């Protein structure tokens, strides 16, 4: 009978620090780019009129992962989270299931971590300040991961002033500011619901780097098409980014083609060019990949196996 480790929300966060999540995420992009890790496209299963399920598989090293996660926008009205789900890790050599993890914690860590990986790879080397636009669950983890990556000075903006204040206080040395103040930073991370444009062409500054994280589904956008096309463009994965990411609007309008967009994995591996120079404005489109989940979930399982964190057990 297979015995599985069970890592709940707090166990995942205790097992993997933001620093470890950044390292695991960077490694995941490199291994996927090198062809060592496999990632079939994610599958959407609609559940009208309530929301949808997403099945996200990946395989790498000795592990295979399936994230079974949701988006049910009406849930908060019933006191339930919009996003919930589980990550299942199996032994890739035998197929035997090894662990079940809380998908919310894995997703939060890997989403914040990729913002740090992209900033370290694509922002100017002398970039210092970080603007967080949207200080909800994933905005907060983005701030934590950028702080862990060494960015000690930033501006938090959210129409919910209490969310911005709480994040700024937690990060220490960061300030609460308005949208223009956040958009004036060296690195701008947008992590809003994607229902309103927050970055216009005139907001862009030479030398700036933008991480666009909120637009992870069709119809969502945080930057205007004019703003997108004015930037040097990077993405986590072209198929997802061009169909359901920040790039989708510009691609549909025929204003961005694949040749203009470099994958983060290629930049990290040195196979693709990063920013062209200190005056360029760079934009990274994050849609969220199963390889990121695999990197973070594998790190959590290793920590549990090493006894660094307490995991529950389930026998099937």
Ligand X SMILES: NC(=O)c1ccc[n+]([C@@H]2O[C@H](COP(=O)([O-])OP(=O)(O)OC[C@H]3O[C@@H](n4cnc5c(N)ncnc54)[C@H](O)[C@@H]3O)[C@@H](O)[C@H]2O)c1
Binding region for ligand X (CB under 6 A):
107, 111, 133-139, 157-160, 163, 191-194, 196, 198, 213-214, 216, 286-288
By C-beta, is 76 or 312 nearer to ligand X?
76
**Residue 3: CB minimum distance to ligand X, A:** 31
What letter does residue 199 receive in the DSSP assignment? B
Tell me, what DSSP letter sits at residue 265?
Answer: H
CB 123 within 8 A of CB 185: no
Cβ neighbours around 197 below 10 Å, total: 16
Q: How far is the CB of 77 from ligand X (least distance, A)?
A: 13
Instruction: Please report how the helices 103-122 and 137-148 are oriented relative to each other, as an axis angle in degrees rounded to 10.
Output: 50
CA gap 147, 155 in Å, rounded? 12
Query: Which residues are the active-site residues?
Result: 67
In angstroms, the CA 158 to CA 160 distance is 5
Smallest distance, ligand X to C-beta of residue 47, A: 16
- 68 or 91: CB nearest ligand X: 68
Least distance in angstroms from the C-beta of 57 to ligand X: 16
Which residue lies nearer to ligand X by CB, 90 or 286?
286
263 forms beta bridges with: 235
Q: How far apart are CA 75 and CA 228, in angstroms?
A: 32
């Amino acid at each position: 009978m297979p015995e599985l480790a069970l890592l709940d929300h707090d166990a995942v966060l205790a097992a993997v620090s933001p620093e470890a999540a950044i390292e695991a995420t960077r490694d995941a992009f490199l291994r996927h780019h090198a062809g060592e890790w496999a990632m079939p496209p994610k599958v959407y299963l609609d559940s009208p009129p309530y929301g949808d399920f997403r099945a996200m598989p990946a395989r790498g090293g000795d592990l295979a992962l399936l994230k079974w996660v949701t988006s049910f926008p009406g849930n908060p009205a019933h006191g339930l989270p919009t996003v919930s789900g589980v990550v299942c890790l199996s032994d890739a050599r035998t197929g035997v299931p090894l662990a079940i993890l809380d998908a919310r914690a894995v997703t939060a860590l890997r989403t914040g971590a990729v913002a740090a990986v992209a900033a370290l790879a694509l922002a100017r080397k002398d970039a210092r300040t970080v603007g967080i636009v949207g200080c909800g669950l994933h905005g907060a983890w983005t701030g934590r991961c950028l702080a862990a990556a060494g960015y000690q000075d930033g501006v938090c903006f959210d129409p919910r002033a209490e969310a911005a204040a709480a994040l700024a206080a937690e990060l220490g040395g960061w300030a609460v500011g308005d949208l223009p103040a956040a958009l004036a930073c060296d690195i701008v991370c947008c992590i809003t619901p994607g229902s309103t444009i927050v970055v216009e062409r005139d907001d862009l500054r030479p030398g700036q780097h933008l991480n666009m994280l909120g637009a992870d589904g069709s119809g969502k956008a945080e930057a205007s098409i004019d703003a997108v096309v004015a930037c040097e463009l990077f993405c986590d994965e072209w198929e997802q980014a061009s169909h359901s990411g920040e790039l989708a609007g510009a691609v549909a309008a025929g204003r961005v083609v694949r040749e203009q967009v470099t994958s983060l994995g290629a930049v990290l591996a040195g196979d693709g060019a990063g920013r062209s120079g200190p005056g360029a404005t760079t934009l990274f489109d994050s849609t969220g990949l199963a390889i990121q989940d695999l990197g973070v979930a594998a790190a959590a399982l290793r920590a549990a196996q090493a006894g660094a964190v307490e995991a529950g057990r389930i026998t099937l």
